[in-house]
Amino acid sequence: MQTECETYSTTNNAAVRFPGLDAMRTSMKYKPSRNSILIIALFEFKESVRNRWLLLYGAAFFLFGNLILYLSGENPIRSASSLLSLMLLLGPLFSLMFGSISFTDSLGFVELLAAQPIRRSDIYIGKWIGLSSGLSLSFCIGMGTGVLLRQGLDSSFFLLLIPGVLLTFCSVAIAFLAANLSRRREIVFGMVLSIWFYLFILHDLLIFGIVTVLGNYPLKVPLMVMVSLNPIDLIRVMVALRLDMSAMMGYSAALFLDFFGGWTGLLVGAILMSLWIGIPVLLGLHLFRKRNL
């Protein structure tokens, strides 16, 4: 994957050239700047949108989204359910992988930035916002263009874009946190794949097993807690509640609807998703501040 730096090997060591560093120095005028987060975020965003993997990511949503809408015909419930499944499968998986690889590959650039009069928190937050924004733009263009061509501007399917953006920011935050737990790229890669496998597959199997074995016991509160511990489940529940499609409501969404009600359930889901974004960012920032670059 393309990174922010270009490395040129010499006889004894490596000379590293960072094309964007001079522009950042000029923008910040060698002094700590209140706009340093914005400058770093814009730089990271520009680097990410030029990456061919993000082009393929958006193209995948466009092609598969069009195929789903074409095969679903005039059945809106089936179309929405299939698009949601595509988003929940591809979005977190790619965001976790791309975010972790991007962070580990840019550590040399981050080290040079940290040597400047820039706070580490500004570097970390700027990189997270910039990369998440690039991924979100690619997702919105890919998914949104497909929906626009097939359903037009009045389609309620555009409501899938907002949860997709939230899930992208959450996934990149988790990826950055994992990247600060180890210096070895293969370990970080294994961690994010394990996280995705648990959130997308194992968590639902665990809930299903608990309901099957302990179905005669009062499980409403424990299962609500379990649903809250999975951002993918939360997004699925929020979309099902917002689109008001009972056919999309699995056990988790029905539980939310019964426990909180429609709009209250959406509000609770939004608060929990905010926590799922904020807590990994704060934990990753704490580790990054203590990290020996």
Q: Determine contact, residues 179/97, Cβ cutoff 8 Å.
A: no
The reply to whether 100 falls in a domain is yes
Lowest mean pLDDT among 7-16, 89-98, 169-178, 211-220: 7-16
Cα separation, 98 vs 171, in Å, equals: 10
Which range marks the domain in which residue 79 is found? 6-290
What is the per-residue pLDDT across 212-248, written as a single tens digit (0 to 9) for each?
Answer: 888 787 777 888 888 889 999 888 888 877 776 655 5
| 3-state class (DSSP) for residue 95 | helix
The reply to whether 103 falls in a domain is yes
Cα separation, 157 vs 238, in Å, equals: 13
**Interior/surface letters 53-79, b for 16+ CB within 10 angstroms, e for the rest:** bbeebbebbbebbbebbeebeeebebb
The reply to whether 1 falls in a domain is no
Does the pLDDT at position 30 exceed 50? no
Q: What total number of domains does the chain contain?
A: 1
Q: Determine contact, residues 169/136, Cβ cutoff 8 Å.
A: yes
The reply to whether 179 falls in a domain is yes
What is the per-residue pLDDT across 125-168, written as a single tens digit (0 to 9) for each?
Answer: 999 999 999 999 999 999 988 888 877 765 667 778 999 999 99
Q: What is the mean pLDDT of the chain?
A: 82
Cα separation, 212 vs 237, in Å, equals: 21
Q: Select from 89, 91, 233, 69 the least CA-distant residue to 156.
A: 69
| 3-state class (DSSP) for residue 7 | strand
Instruction: Tell me the whole-structure pTM to 2 decimals.
Output: 0.85
The reply to whether 99 falls in a domain is yes
